[in-house]
Amino acid sequence: MIAFIGRRALLAIPTLIFISFISFVIIQLPPGDYVTSYAAQLRQQGDYISIAQEAIMRQNMGLNDPILVQYWRWISNIVFRGDFGHSLEWNAPVGSLIWDRLALTLAISSLSSVFTGSSPFRSASIPPQGNIPFSTTSSPFSIFWAKAFPISCSH
């Protein structure tokens, strides 16, 4: 069992690298970059920045680097330093934004699991009326259990 878990953990590493790279590339695909959208936003507000200022911003943010260099910088900061970067939109560290939202997400999913997991017991505990075979009374329990825990029914 330990060997199986070890193999699965080792297989997860290239999978995570592949998924993170594909996600990074997809995020980079739309035309333009943050500096372009920032300059457009300033123009809408009546402010302007020069092309030289845009070039300096791109250089400081590393947006002129090849995509593989940008990916390596991003993923190595996450893996080796735990630094997810800085959100330019929210003007805050991305790690704190993730943790703030993760706490609420975990609370909601935990409560949902408790309520969903207990519903088969409530529904299946209603006593049958009359002379009904066991297979008929046990099927609602099975159906509710499958809905509550779909992973347990997939194997």
Supply the pTM of this predicted model: 0.64
pLDDT average per 10 residues of sequence, the chain (155 residues) = 92 94 94 90 92 94 94 94 89 91 86 69 55 57 60 44
Tracing tokens 């991305």 back to the chain, one arrives at 94
d(C-alpha 47, C-alpha 149), whole Å: 54
Helix (H, G, I), strand (E, B) or coil at 132: coil
- Extended beta strands in the chain, E state: 86-87, 92-93
Tokens (6 digits) for 4: 């199986």
Instruction: Name the residue ranges covered by the structural domains of the chain.
Output: 1-83, 87-155
d(C-alpha 108, C-alpha 85), whole Å: 26
Question: Which pLDDT score is estimated for 11?
Answer: 93
